[in-house]
Structure 1
Amino acid sequence: MFSRFVGLTGFRSTGIISRATFARINTINSIARRNFSRSTVRLQESVSAAKPQLKWNEFLKLRKQERRINMVSSIFTAWIGASVGLAYVSQLEMDLSFQIYGFDPILVMCVALISCGALGFLSGPLVGSTLFKAKNKGVLKLYEQKNSTFLKHIIKNRVDASRQSFSNPVPDFYGEKITSLKDYKQWLRDCNAYRRKTTDFI
């Protein structure tokens, strides 16, 4: 009888300990979940802070670099186009005494050479953009995003070109000459001065 009582008491005490242990485990689990969520938030914050960003000065330097590469490429492709046109024209056999569509043959050849050079010049930015993208692969996506934002600022702040005059020209309508934050601030001042002049004139 006594052994039964001891066994029953032991069972009950074991049950009480199990419940306390279960409650403690739940508490530990809730604390662990809370700590895990906090660490996850901190990790996300650190990742977002470590995410590469492109500052405005760096963007404007890259924009200036792109313009220079495009200009050099345009000059180079214009020279290639004119050289190809000259090589083609020099192989032609023509009688200079006969006119071509009523024009002097020398004049026609000169126009053809100029056209070849102009076509090459216009195709230069295609080559330049390819070279620029290959050179700046690491920041190309950031550059394109920044460029989109920059163009939105230009469109928002530029002046009405239809109200220009000889004494009040439009200040860089497309913002192509802006190569630094100083240039951008000066461009904004020029736009404000343009608006004041048009208002005073009216």
Structure 2
Amino acid sequence: MRHAFTVLAACAAFAAAAPAQAADYVIDATHTTVFFEISHFGASINRARFDKKEGTVQFDPAAKTGKVNIKIDAASISSGVPPFDKHLKSADLFDVEKYPSITFAADQFTFDGDKVKEVKGQLTLKGKTHPVTLAARQFTCYPNQMVKREVCGGDFETTIDRTLFDLGYGPEQMAGKQVHVVVSVEAVRQ
């Protein structure tokens, strides 16, 4: 019995230490959050998130390559304040009736050793597409015991100029041009 436990523990330790292999992954929406924050008159920070998102990741840590495709339901924006959400969804800002989706497509991964450092791609918002680099604050792959599969994920951040995406509502002193975006993502190997 003791020998069986030792072998089982050694196998579990090996699995945890084994590097991720080239594979396809699907975004786990329950462990993925996309939110942004923007200055409000320089006094406070307004924050909101998008509750509905989906996507896929192709990741090969040995070759240090990958691809990401994320689609966000623009109408799922939530600040926790219904009147503000209504304004965010209006034609003044995200215009969700005309532009129901926000997408991010990337195919350039930069590594620092074995860890993902950056993901470079194209953000499409309100029909405008511009390059965006998501910098990794942390990243790892691990054997998830609940789903019995490998999961890879991390926290990424960037800052965008909202006026490039036709989100220029209001004077700059009311809301700054710079929007801080944070993407916390986990994806399950298929």
TM-score normalised by L of structure 1: 0.19
Which one has a larger percent strand, Structure 1 or Structure 2?
Answer: 2
Q: Which has the larger radius of gyration?
A: 1
